[in-house]
Amino acid sequence: MSAKRAATVIPLLLAACAACATTSAAAAKQRFTQDRFVIGLWVEPPADDQMEARYREMAGAGFNLVTDCCMTTRPEQVLRQLALCKRFGMKAIVPCLEADPARLPLSAACMGCLVKDEPAVAEFPGLRARVDAIRRERPGKLAFINMYPDYVNPAAVGARDYNDYAERFARELDVDVLCMDHYPLFRPDQPDGRDAYCRNLGVMRRLSLERGVPFWNFFNAMPFGPHTDPTEAQIRWQINATLAYGGKGVLYFCYWTPTGGEFPKGGAIITPDGRRTRHYAQARRINAELNNWGPVLMKLVSEGVARIAPNTTDTTAALAGSPLIKIASVPGDPAPDCLVGWFRHADGRRAVIICNYHFAYTAWPTMEFAAPADKVTEVDRSSGKERPVIDDSPAIAGLQLSLDAGDARLFLLPPQ
């Protein structure tokens, strides 16, 4: 290239690069960025004269996100909802009541707009246009679309199989948050639904890492259809499995009990006439712990997940690459039955979440970390602060940790 031509071309290339960088920065500003671990719900309280008390009650149970579906249906109700969310430290994904996304509320309490629940493949082009319009007219707001779980009939939604559906959803809609709803069966007279739930979480984890976006999921908190009313341990198990797979949000199905032929038993967190069920106190306990863990969870990037089942003969091989060397049990105890997720912390440290796979029995696994025990800290669920690891059975050789039914614990280790 001649000096004269270089003098002409190089400034043009630099200008083009600067323009691309500016365009990329502008595009990034249009996209939603999650700033907190999400604890949300489906079916909000009615927009009636008790609305203020109901939203105070929601916040009191530790929820930080309201996802609208049927109770807030008019613009003035949405504005009132957003004012109450702002007052009580929550955010809302509001219904898209207007065809023009430029009319989406500007309130800081508005996280975004509920575009569609469970779309088929044929709907993707129209929904993508809607996503792009919301980004353009309301930069930073979330165009929220919830996808089907993996027990949907693929042919009915226009896909070859579930992976095809999920991959096309993520690619063609280019969403800023992946989300699905999967409700495992816990019935004693039906096949156990937990492994299928984890398989679906595995799909979400993979797509989340490939796309560089967080994933959330709805889980079951009430009896409906063929589903029994979950115990607190079963609710914890569903949430903790999501955390082990790297989820950045969990959403209860349901908060306010819906009515209709599928819900004759009632039994969500709040009854149709406004009474608290036992699930309210359960959610308050669980959500308090999630809010304490949340700042740490938001700094973790998933690196692996392993199921340590009772028939796992070599836990060291199963945990290869994780911050754990092995999991064992003391003589006379049942074989370990755990779900283990490991992560890279934003500060370079390693992290590991250990879940008791049982929802009806406690577990006392003997753990061997890939670091001296005095270099490992645990994130305390009651405070969110780090504290030294405590051996729950110091009279027994090795480091034993106790896990209640469906429970989980979160540990941090030095960089590798």
CA dist 26 and 272 (Å) reads 45
**DSSP state at residue 155:** G
**DSSP state at residue 102:** G
Q: Which residues contact residue 198 at a Cβ distance below 8 angstroms, ignoring those fewer than 6 apart?
A: 241, 245, 307, 339
* Residue whose token pair is 């036992």: 278
Q: Is 84 helix (H, G, I), strand (E, B) or coil?
A: helix
**Which domains occur in the chain, in start order?**
32-298 (3.20.20.80), 301-413 (2.60.40.1180)
pLDDT at 164: 98
pLDDT at 9: 43
> Burial letters for 182-219: b for 16+ Cβ neighbours within 10 Å, e otherwise?
bbbbbeeeeeebbebbbebbebbbbbbeebebbbbbbb
Query: Taking a C-beta distance cutoff of 8 angstroms, is the pair 95, 72 a contact?
Result: yes
Nearest Cα to 336, choosing from 403, 261, 255, 238? 403
Mean pLDDT for each consecutive 10-residue tract of the chain (416 residues)?
44 44 57 97 94 98 89 86 97 87 89 96 97 95 97 97 98 98 94 96 98 98 94 98 98 93 88 96 98 98 97 95 95 94 98 97 95 96 96 93 97 95
CA dist 144 and 68 (Å) reads 11
Measured over the CA atoms of residue 198, residue 204, residue 207 and residue 212, the dihedral's sign is negative
pLDDT at 5: 44
